[in-house]
Structure 1
Amino acid sequence: MQKGILKRWMDDKGYGFITPADGSDDVFFHISSLKDAIRRPVERDIVYFDVIIDLTGQKRAVGVTIEGTKSVFTERKLVKPAPVAPRKNALKPQPHKARAYRHRNSSYRSIFSTIVIVALVVGFAVDKFKSREIAISRPSTVSEISYQVTEQPEIQAATKFTCEGKTRCTQMNSCEEAMFYLNNCPGSVTDGDNDGRPCEDQWCGH
């Protein structure tokens, strides 16, 4: 890299000529070859540059910098931050594993909550089904018992008695006979109050 002085500068046209410090011929300088500067060049600036020969055979200055006007941004690039020594036994952050662990815990909690809710719903449904089963079965059981209680004497009575034209309590010999005539024989007048029990004063009142 060479050092020189900007001898002539035509700012409106964006070019000028540099006189090298070694006394060689002037070198053409275009504004497009200026780098790392915070202002435009002016005559008498001390500059640093490299020289190339362009296609016309003319010397041309490239990579031109102006002394004392180096960009602060370029200087900052050259400053390397001091390395920080890692602490011993320092735990390395593992954000992905932490997120995966939290997600897994959240999934487990969601599955457990779902199982609990399903178990409660099933238990409630089973209780309701059993209650309904009991409610349905009870009337039939009671009706069967009442049927057995009411029907059995009639069957037994039917085997002992026959309709022989008796219609009044004075003609009966027992409560069973009075019940038989009331339930099986027409014309019976043994149940005056129509409560289903005949001859209450004579036979079925005790």
Structure 2
Amino acid sequence: MKWNDDRGFGFIEPATGTEEVFVHVSAFPRDGIRPRIGEFVSFEIDLREDGKKRAVRIMRPGKNNNTVRRATRDVPSATSRSGALTTILGLLTLIAVGWYGYASFASKKMAPAEPMLPATRALPASTPSFNCDGRTRCSQMTSCAEATYFLKQCPGTQMDGDGDGEPCESQWCGASWSD
């Protein structure tokens, strides 16, 4: 193997004695060991777009080339540690908000309730819901209250024959007919 450490590439001579194959430092295992001249390695050949051969997936004989890769996966990186910390803080925040919400709900539910007053409906004042619709005679009325309303509010009524302010005395508002 020929290697230019300053430029990060070199050439590998295959065991079959064919022409040398280009190799870049990125093809070596990331185990921290720099390529060395004369070092024996095994590799695969990749044909580039320009038709030239390139050595890829280089392995050093007698070494488990996956050991370093597995070891680096098992050691948490700063990024994964901060991601785990963020996840834990997020979960703690969610738990705190949930607990506060539950405690707030439970305290309202457990607190003695204010006595509820029975629902009452406002009754209209004694003002009847009559309106002047052109009726003018006692025979057209249905109650003393209606006759009284018509006499006081509507013009042209003929319901107070004796002029005492009490309408329809013989039909609705007399002593025996009072509401």
TM-score by length of 2: 0.39
